Chain A
Amino acid sequence: MIRLRRLLEKDTVHALLASFETLLPGAELALIEVDGRVFAGHSMAELPADAVRLPLAVRSKPAGMLVARQAKHPEILHALYTSLSLLLSEAQEKRDLVEETLDRYREINLLYQLGETMGIHVAPAIIPEAMLDEVSRIIDSEVSMVLLYSSDHELVIKSCRGAVEFSHTLWAVSESLLQRVAEIGRADIATQVYIQESREGTVLCAPLKVQEHLMGFVLMGRFDGQDMFTAGDEKLLMAMTHQAAIALETHRLYQQEIERQLLEKELSVGRQIQLGLLPTSFPDIPGWEFAATYEAARQVGGDLYDFFHIPDQPHRLGIVIADVTGKGVPAAMFMALSRTIIRAESRTGDPPTEVLQRSNRLIVDDNRSNLFMTAFYATLDTPTGQLVCANAGHDYPLWLHTQPGHCEFVKTQGLMLGAFKSITLTEQQLNLAPGDCLVLYTDGVTEAMNQHGQFFGEERLKAVVEAGSSATANELLTAIMDAVRQFIGDYAQSDDLTLFIIKRQFS
């Protein structure tokens, strides 16, 4: 209902009526509200029968009337009526402006509040809910919902308001709108959408995105003759989804940081386990040199090298190098377990094939982590230089013959440990002559990568080893490590790097 008192200043109207009454001697003028109350002018308890009634209107809606008694000059009365109509229309325009400003006030407050709400909600599950709560305060719709991409890139409804039974239908009929919004990266409206036969409507959709990262959408539908969504709604929803997207993104980054810290912690635990198990020194065995190094990458792996005397056989040494697939604490634990098993199995002094085959069975039986390992195990008879070995899928050791000074890879094949219940390995025997050298390593060495994505590779390794035929074990180790470091430059390595060198001295 339009009320004159909300549109016109009482004093102004009084003055206007009074001035017209002087132009219309003997006339009585009054402005009456739609509800019959006198707004200004003569109080007329009952409208006299002889009164002229001129209905006033604002945008075709009744806005009371001008009542005149004994106004003898219709043209003057008409001039008053015209002035009042003009005043009313101007006042209404002003009211509209105020109303528009109040709407902006509402929006600003809503966005402000949304920003605060989003800031408080650390739990991402609450963000879609909170967002729809706020959105529905200012943009009406029959159905509204938040769709978010899950970790496997599937869209899922995270929150829904209104006629939830139509949520899936609305989603289905909005497929092309979603695609368009994803492409253009901003809100858009689709018209003539049918949620059911004969139920036509409009759909408003805004993306939840931060920079180029699209996290999902907000969808809102209006049907059955509800007002269409406007460009203003579109703009507002875009501003609101932007805030929610930032909140979601902030949470994601926060979560990522926590995970990174946990991983970091886990890695450092893994590293400690691993380092604690590697031999720190080698026994002094006449005629032999040993050198080993282990360099951890940022992500700790499950590299292992080991070295021990076979019980009751003082001249026989057990030598192991192994690499667990996988990273972190699980890999380190697996490595610790495998080391213990291989050590225990080697106590019998059985040939390496048997030791590894039995170890495999024990590892498989106890393998709950789905990890595997490559392993090379050898026994070395120190007085003769006879080395008996078996290889369960590990990188081929490099045998440097000092006479005549060339290298060869010891290509013994076999399946890795932990994958199959039963494996059969082949035994190989090498006779290390004085000056010969056996270089054991993990794939961290050959697969060390430079900034161009190239691997250090077996050939480069071979070249460095051949060049070091007269070097001591320690010198050769240093030469190989230097070559690898020079090759990779500043490029961060993803894998651990282990090198184990056995050299028979010239007698």
Chain B
Amino acid sequence: MTQKILIADDEAHIRQLIEQSVEDLEDSGVEILYADNGESALKIIRAEHPSLVFLDVMMPRMNGFDVCHQVKHELGMDSVYIVMLTAKGQEFDKQRGEEAGADIYMTKPFDPDELLALAERVLGL
């Protein structure tokens, strides 16, 4: 089965930065999906079962915490590895992230190499 990564961020340039950081994984057959708001992220997760989700905290319609909570607690899809992305300088609410079930959080500007290494690890590549 094709492994999938979902990049959910309302800012197109951030999506592109993440995509370009992990695009080499496409050569290993990984499919990259995109969402520009929380609702569509949730829809895609439900339908596509990505193994890894980069989830922006501040997104329109549904924020990252709520998406994460739904996925991990209500849909019971706790095998989906969720990376919460937060802007530097903006204090990440660790407790809220933990409660929502996020696996890890990263601050923007993220380290592209670290992002790729994390993706490889999560996908077992």
- Write the residues of chain A forming the contact surface with B, with a CB cutoff of 8 angstroms: 5-6, 94-95, 98-99, 101-102, 104-106, 108-110, 113
Q: Is the CB of A98 within 8 A of B111?
A: no
Quick one: which of A99, A105, A106 has the most chain B CB within 10 A? A105
Interface positions of B (Cβ within 8 A of A): 13, 16-17, 20-21, 23, 26, 109-114
Please report the number of residue pairs spanning A and B whose Cβ atoms sit closer than 8 angstroms: 31
How far apart are the CA atoms of A137 and B53 in the complex, in Å?
27
Known: A94-B16, A98-B20, A109-B114. 12 other contacts (CB 8 A): A5-B26, A6-B23, A98-B16, A99-B20, A101-B13, A102-B112, A105-B109, A105-B110, A105-B112, A109-B110, A109-B111, A110-B111
23 CB-based A-B contacts, threshold 8 Å: A6-B23, A94-B16, A95-B20, A98-B16, A98-B17, A98-B20, A101-B17, A102-B17, A102-B20, A102-B21, A102-B112, A104-B109, A105-B109, A105-B110, A105-B111, A105-B112, A106-B112, A106-B113, A108-B109, A109-B109, A109-B111, A110-B111, A113-B111
Q: Report the bound CA distance from A106 to B23 in whole Å.
A: 17
List of 3 A-B pairs having minimum Cβ-Cβ separation, nearest first: A109-B111, A105-B109, A102-B112
A102 contact set on B, CB distance < 8 A: 17, 20-21, 112
Q: Which residue of A lies closest to B16 (CB)?
A: A98
Interface secondary structure of A, over-half rule: helix
A94: nearest chain-B partner, CB-CB: B16
Chain A residues with CB under 8 Å of B21's CB are 102
CA distance A441 to B85 in the complex (A): 76
- Alpha-carbon separation in the docked complex, A104 to B110 (Å): 10
Minimum CB–CB distance for B123 against chain A, Å: 19
Enumerate chain A residues within 8 angstroms of B26, measured Cβ to Cβ.
5
Q: Which residues of B contact A95 (CB under 8 A)?
A: 20
Contact A105 B17 (CB under 8 A): yes
Give, as a whole number of angstroms, the nearest-CB distance from A47 to chain B.
23
Residues of B contacting A110 in the complex (Cβ-Cβ under 8 angstroms) = 111
CB-CB under 8 A from B114, the residues of chain A are 109
Minimum CB–CB distance from A101 to chain B (whole Å) comes to 6
